[in-house]
Amino acid sequence: MQQKISRKKLCLLLSLSAIVATTVNFFIFHQRINPFIFLFFLLSNIFVFFYLLKFFSEKNSLVESQLENIKEQINITNSENLKAREFGAALKFRITRYDNLKKVIEELNRSLRLEVVVNVLSSTVYSLISNSCGSALFYLLDNHTQKLNLIHSIKEDRQMVILSKEGDIFDYWVLRHSRELLIEDLKNDFRFDLDVLRSQEMRPILSLISSPLISHHSLLGLLRLESDKRGSFNQDDLRFLSLVSGLGAVALENSLLFQKTQDLAIHDDLTGLYTKQYFIGRLKDEAKRCLRLDQRLVLMMIDIDFFKQYNDKFGHTAGDIVLKKVSSLLKESLSLLNPLLCRFGGEEFLVMLPEMDKQRALEVAEELRQKIEREKVLLRRQNTSVTVSIGLACLPLDTKDDDELIQKADKSMYDAKRKGRNRVCYI
């Protein structure tokens, strides 16, 4: 404004100077002119000056007003262009995200294996939503115990340990409400008690999104992303996670059904132990490995003594109870030895113990025999006891052939029966 006033004053001074100079020159060269004519001439010049001054002032104001409008329009246009570019970038990002859903579906359709489905879902949301930052956690729900089980995780910090293997308060909030959870800033989220969180041994979490995996109204588990930074996730991220979870739940259910079918095919219906066919295949592979690495492998053949008497006295249902009890004791007693357990047929069981020498195997077998003998089995309100005869054979000490190993273990078991049963024999 000060600059504009200065320009006007300058124009006024220049114009007055021009009028004065013109008048003086006119007076010098025309000294005999009539004073009235001179005065008229002077006033005429002054009038013309103020008219021109007003005219150019109005023009200047109009130009300045138009210039301000143009600048305002430019600013508005720039702002709209910026919003359009941001919207375009966001739209391109969303299109890229949703284009990847086709690839996800194709990958899920390639395999029914549980580990493949879990890995595809976890890696997809971790890369497309978290941009490979923070952590991705995949939980499965145990329908019997209604507890979560962490089966897969992807972590930016590989040294970080996930202590909540069965989930935490956020995961059980999702299970309880059966809907998605978004936390943009944990410290400002009224739904969760920070004092409770501090009392638990937790890794640093400030924001997270989580979605349940639901198929046919059945809750299978949940998929979760978390970050140690505030505002890492938004509503659009949650919508995309929910969409992936919806697709993944169907694939997960098919995978679980396929795994259950496979398990039924290789497990005995009554005892839950491996079937004879599956066991023999695993024994062949393990025997080759032990021979290649010069390691020991022990095979136990176990037979329930006088099993027919249980069926005759208490009925076939009682026989099933005895088989279940013995198989349960096998699992419980040998759980720390990484055994492979099989119902070989009827009342016979096979136990494979890799990387174990013969002397140690004899001690294990004797402890197992005594534990089974001490255990009471309730049959028709009567406490009965069960005994077993155990035969041992060791590879490669007794043989280097897996088929012959079974035969030698079977022979040792029959030796135990001939010697009075309820004992352990070996080659």
Please identify which residue in the block is written with the tokens 């404004």: 1
- From the list 102, 142, 134, the residue with the least C-alpha distance to 120 is 102
Contacts of 111 (CB under 8 A, 6+ apart): 117
Contact (Cβ atoms closer than 8 angstroms) between residue 117 and residue 251: yes
Residue 395, beta-bridge partner list: 297
CA distance 303 to 387: 9
CA distance 106 to 89: 27
Contact (Cβ atoms closer than 8 angstroms) between residue 233 and residue 209: yes
pLDDT in tens, 89-100: 666 666 666 677
Contacts of 135 (CB under 8 A, 6+ apart): 153, 154, 155, 156, 157, 160, 162, 225, 226, 227
Give Cα separations from 55 to 50, 52, 60, 141 (angstroms).
Answer: 8, 5, 9, 85
Q: Beta strand pairing status for 348-354 and 376-379?
A: unpaired
pLDDT in tens, 196-252: 666 565 678 899 999 999 988 889 999 999 999 999 999 989 988 998 998 889 899
- From the list 213, 197, 225, 221, the residue with the least C-alpha distance to 148 is 221
In the chain, what's the furthest Cα-to-Cα distance? 166
Give percent of the chain with pLDDT exceeding 90. 47
- Mean pLDDT along residues 388-404: 94
My answer on whether omega of the bond before 212 falls inside 30° of 0, hence cis, is no
CA torsion 87-90-93-94 (nearest 10°) is: -90
Task: Mean pLDDT check: name the lowest of 23-27, 114-118, 159-163.
Answer: 23-27
pLDDT in tens, 136-175: 999 999 888 889 999 999 998 888 888 888 888 899 899 9
pLDDT in tens, 329-341: 999 999 999 899 9
Q: With DSSP H G I counted as helix, E B as strand and the rest as coil, what are the percentages for the chain, rounded to 5?
A: 60, 20, 20
- From the list 135, 119, 114, the residue with the least C-alpha distance to 220 is 114
The beta-strand segments (E) located in 8-132 are: none
The beta-strand segments (E) located in 249-395 are: 297-304, 340-345, 348-354, 376-379, 382-385, 388-395
- Mean pLDDT along residues 318-326: 92
pLDDT in tens, 173-197: 999 999 999 999 988 888 887 776 6
